[in-house]
Amino acid sequence: MKGIVSSSNIIMYLFIIIIIIKIKIEHYLTLPRLYNIDGWGSWYLHKQITHNYKALLMMMRLALVVTTAVLLVIIGCSFAEQCGKQAGGALCPGGLCCSKFGWCGSTGDYCGDGCQSQCSGSSGDLGSLISRDTFNNMLKHRDDSGCQGKRLYTYDAFISAAKAFPNFANNGDTATKKREIAAFLGQTSHETTGGWATAPDGPYAWGYCFVREQNPSSTYCQPSSEFPCASGKQYYGRGPIQISWNYNYGQCGRAIGVDLLNNPDLVATDPVISFKTALWFWMTPQSPKPSCHDVITGRWSPSSADRAAGRLPGYGTVTNIINGGLECGRGQDGRVQDRIGFYKRYCDILGVGYGDNLDCFSQRPFGSSLSLSSLFLNSIDT
């Protein structure tokens, strides 16, 4: 902000100089008429005026050039945002490429040699895979008067946020892309559901009803030197994926270029940021877990240990990634079934098959020796 203010002052001063020069020129041009000078005196005065006029004209041109240069610098700086290793791994907004020097843009200078991330410069044509009407039909009651999510979880915010993650719904054939959309919306609908067994249009038409975790059990602050908790802030579940804990807010904020440690409620109030946090979780692997994206698109190959634990490619392993410590390996579980119910409804709407291995009833959780406090997410139980 200080840089913008000082640059604005410079431009203001330059324009003042130009105006003064213009007034001076007009003054010189009116001198002969003002003093009624003719003859030799008029010739001499005209000679002096011409000399001074040329000098002032050059000064005005120089001032205009400098003003233009300052404006170009300001415009350039306003469009370029730091990213990549120069900015702690932050992604460029709007799906822009991150150049080797850590600046955002869409030309070859940014997307070419040395590009650090989002080097395709686009997120595919997500709008051709899921239209506004389809989105509204899938999340049919999100704007119900009893839902927190009304006017937050918008179609435009979803499409805009996805541009920051160009591989989302952009790998494989059309069916694979649509299946990923169904899986993403299915899992996040369970996390935010406001449905019940006898709800109008069924329980799976009530996804994206809630924004904040209901009755959080703590502030979700774990001591951390890298991601310290801000004074007075709480890191309970917020947004489509119900992101929780200070270290998750810190990592996610760093990746999307937003200070979520000091402003965690942006996840509950800014539509695009809200969706970005969910997409960041979906696209980001956390060892020993693969990313949800890689699993649902078939890019993940289970190891022998995964197979021994029953973790196979399919929607069930996505559930294991998100909340396996609380839901998987326990036999029949209503929460797991609820996730599947949303997923099947969305696949039906998009016209794609469900794939195999939908549940995690007999899967061992990833890193099952870890304590609950170290889980990546603390999900809402519904």
Q: Cβ contacts of residue 229 below 8 Å, gap of 6+?
A: 219, 221, 223, 235, 246, 261
Catalytic residue among 191, 213, 226, 327: 191
Question: Whose structure tokens read 């997500």?
Answer: 126
Q: Cβ contacts of residue 50 below 8 Å, gap of 6+?
A: none
Which run of H or E residues covers position 97? Answer: strand 97-98
Q: Cβ contacts of residue 380 below 8 Å, gap of 6+?
A: 191, 192, 210, 213, 214, 237, 242
**Known catalytic membership, residue 191:** yes
Q: What is the 3-state secondary structure (H, E, C) of 323-367?
A: HHHHHCCCCCCHHHHHHHHHHHHHHHHHCCCCCCCCCCCCCCCCC
Residues 238 and 258: beta-carbon distance below 8 Å:
no
Tally the residues of the chain.
382
Residues assigned a catalytic role: 191
